[in-house]
């Protein structure tokens, strides 16, 4: 599935599936509801995708979210690595050395873990996220892995809104993590990161137990849903099993996928 978005060619790539506790993924939502959307396995885990993006523009080859660490507890997280991100990129004729830029929405292991696979790429993330990654504090200690830190040579920090590549705009949202950011492509598409991990997290109050500041997640989501509906953006969701991007419609103060 290739999408022509302004000057950019955008493809959904994958680093395979993994699983997380269903209750943790749905925060305050009662199990009676979420288990109908995402049936848990016998260890109470639900299936999640790692659907990052390959974005090609004039003079650059960008990967948004370089995938999941290969050396996490594969049994606990049921990491499949089918396909690996390298295999997925190869399907589009892209080798790891060809990648010039990597964007991390945030630095948790299921998003930032694969960055070292791209020897020539700079790694773009928010300065606040880099600080959080280096001194995670008590709550996120296990989600930030020292092994996932970009090398000093590849590190490219931004603060707040930035356009590190033509047509690729980063916006700091916070909420899920201190330096979480989303990516807007040519003012026509939105990569949500963990602000909306799956289609079942559309409603602003549906947050994850992993979100550091749920009120910020809800507020940011409400305003981005409104902007996305108004501008007719294509929406890409990293953890959603079905990689098809969707559009959002407003229905009064509420939103739905169209
Ligand atoms: Zn995640």
Question: What pLDDT sits at residue 14?
Answer: 97
pLDDT for residue 240 is more than 90: yes
pLDDT range class, residue 138, cuts 50, 70, 90: confident
Question: What pLDDT sits at residue 137?
Answer: 82
Q: What is the CA(145)–ligand 1 centre distance, in A?
A: 14
Q: What is the CA(210)–ligand 1 centre distance, in A?
A: 9
Q: What is the CA(21)–ligand 1 centre distance, in A?
A: 12
pLDDT for residue 125 is more than 80: yes
Number of other residues whose CB lies within 10 A of the CB of residue 209 = 13
Question: What pLDDT sits at residue 35?
Answer: 98
Q: What is the CA(92)–ligand 1 centre distance, in A?
A: 24
Q: What is the CA(132)–ligand 1 centre distance, in A?
A: 16
pLDDT > 70: percent of the chain: 100
DSSP one-letter string for 54-122: EEEETTEEEEES-B--TTS-HHHHT---SS-HHHHHHTTT--GGG--EEE-S---HHHHTTGGG-TT-E
Question: What pLDDT sits at residue 136?
Answer: 86
pLDDT for residue 203 is more than 80: yes
Question: What pLDDT sits at residue 39?
Answer: 98
Q: What is the CA(22)–ligand 1 centre distance, in A?
A: 13
Of the ranges 43-57, 110-124, 225-239, which one carries the lowest mean pLDDT score? 110-124
The mean pLDDT of the chain is 95
pLDDT range class, residue 1, cuts 50, 70, 90: confident
Q: What is the CA(19)–ligand 1 centre distance, in A?
A: 11
DSSP E strand stretches across the chain: 2-5, 8-14, 18-21, 45-48, 51-57, 60-64, 101-103, 122-126, 155-158, 162-165, 168-172, 181-185, 189-191, 234-236, 248-251, 254-257
Question: What pLDDT sits at residue 139?
Answer: 78
From CA 68, how far away is CA 86, in angstroms rounded? 12
Question: What pLDDT sits at residue 174?
Answer: 97
Question: What pLDDT sits at residue 71?
Answer: 80
Question: What pLDDT sits at residue 141?
Answer: 76
Question: What pLDDT sits at residue 201?
Answer: 98
């Amino acid at each position: 599935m290739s999408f022509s978005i302004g000057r950019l060619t955008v493809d959904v790539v994958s680093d395979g599936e993994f699983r997380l506790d269903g209750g943790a993924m749905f925060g305050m939502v009662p199990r009676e509801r979420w288990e109908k959307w995402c049936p848990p396995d016998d260890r109470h885990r639900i299936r999640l995708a790692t659907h990052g993006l390959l974005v090609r523009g004039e003079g650059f080859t960008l990967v948004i979210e370089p995938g999941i660490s290969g050396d996490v507890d594969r049994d606990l997280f049921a990491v499949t690595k089918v396909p690996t991100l390298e295999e997925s990129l190869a399907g589009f004729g892209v080798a790891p050395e060809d990648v010039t830029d990597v964007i991390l929405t945030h630095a948790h292991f299921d998003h930032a873990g694969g960055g070292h696979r791209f020897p020539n790429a700079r790694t773009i993330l928010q300065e606040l996220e880099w600080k959080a990654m280096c001194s995670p504090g008590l709550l996120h200690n296990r989600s930030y892995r020292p092994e996932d830190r970009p090398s000093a040579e590849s590190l490219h920090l931004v603060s707040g809104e930035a356009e590190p590549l033509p047509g690729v705009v980063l916006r700091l949202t916070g909420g899920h993590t201190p330096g979480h950011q989303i990516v807007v492509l040519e003012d026509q598409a939105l990569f949500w990161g963990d602000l909306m991990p799956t289609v079942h997290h559309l409603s602003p109050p549906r947050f994850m137990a992993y979100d550091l500041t749920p009120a910020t997640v809800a507020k940011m989501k409400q305003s981005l849903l409104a902007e996305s509906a108004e501008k007719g953006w294509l929406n890409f969701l990293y953890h959603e099993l079905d990689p098809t991007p969707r559009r959002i419609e407003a229905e009064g103060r509420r939103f739905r996928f169209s």
